[in-house]
Amino acid sequence: GELAIELSRPPTPRDFQTKGLPDCVSRVFPVIELHQYVIRSQKPDAAELIANNALHAGVVAGRGIKALDHGIPSLSIYKDGILLETCSSMTLTATIASSLRWLVHHLNVIGIEMRAGQMILTGSVLGLFPIKETCSLRIKSEPFGEVEAFIEYEDVV
């Protein structure tokens, strides 16, 4: 579970001069990002996570709300109604801004400009949870809404 954003316009350097959500963000919404979650090393790191799990199976997105300052946000992950992990911190919105700033920079280096309407997954401050049985997942984020998905697990040999 993580937060995603939709752009109202291409980001500019001015969007990152103040704290909080950049003005180019039109809405913030929770997502369930489905990965091919494979970790083989004894001490996993970001490089292995990206190399082995860049193949995404999909994203389930909530409606979200217009990006406004709403105090301290929260993000919680539930599996079959049981809380797995939660975070209530300004780190959630800071991660949105820093992830977007990083992405804009790296795309500009190779001559790509972002556009209005694009959806950006901003990364999760919470852990990744392997799903090894059929279950219901719910991501709840105050004030940004919630999203739910039913996962039917099939063991593939």
pLDDT score at 54:
58
Question: Could you give the CA distance from residue 76 to residue 5 in angstroms, rounded to a whole number?
Answer: 17
Q: Locate 59 and state its tokens.
A: 């994203």
Q: Examine residue 40 and state whether it is found in any structural domain, yes or no.
A: yes
Mean pLDDT of 107-129: 90
More reliable by pLDDT, 56 or 89: 89
Q: Examine residue 115 and state whether it is found in any structural domain, yes or no.
A: yes
Q: Examine residue 61 and state whether it is found in any structural domain, yes or no.
A: yes
- What's the total number of domains in the chain? 1
Would you say residue 149 has pLDDT above 60? yes
Question: How far is it between the farthest Cα atoms of the chain?
Answer: 51
Q: 72: domain CATH number?
A: 3.90.850.10
Q: Examine residue 8 and state whether it is found in any structural domain, yes or no.
A: yes
If pLDDT is split at 50, 70 and 90, which confidence band does 53 have?
A: low
Mean pLDDT of 120-136: 87
Mean pLDDT of 110-127: 91
Q: Could you tell me the residue range of the domain that residue 24 belongs to?
A: 2-151
If pLDDT is split at 50, 70 and 90, which confidence band does 55 have?
A: low
Q: In this predicted model, what pLDDT tens digit does every residue of 69-112 receive, in sequence order?
A: 667 889 999 999 999 999 988 888 888 899 999 999 999 999 99
Q: In this predicted model, what pLDDT tens digit does every residue of 9-49 receive, in sequence order?
A: 999 999 998 888 899 999 999 998 887 667 778 887 767 76
Would you say residue 122 has pLDDT above 60? yes
Q: Examine residue 93 and state whether it is found in any structural domain, yes or no.
A: yes
Would you say residue 143 has pLDDT above 80? yes
CB 129 within 8 A of CB 77: yes
Q: Examine residue 157 and state whether it is found in any structural domain, yes or no.
A: no
Q: Examine residue 156 and state whether it is found in any structural domain, yes or no.
A: no
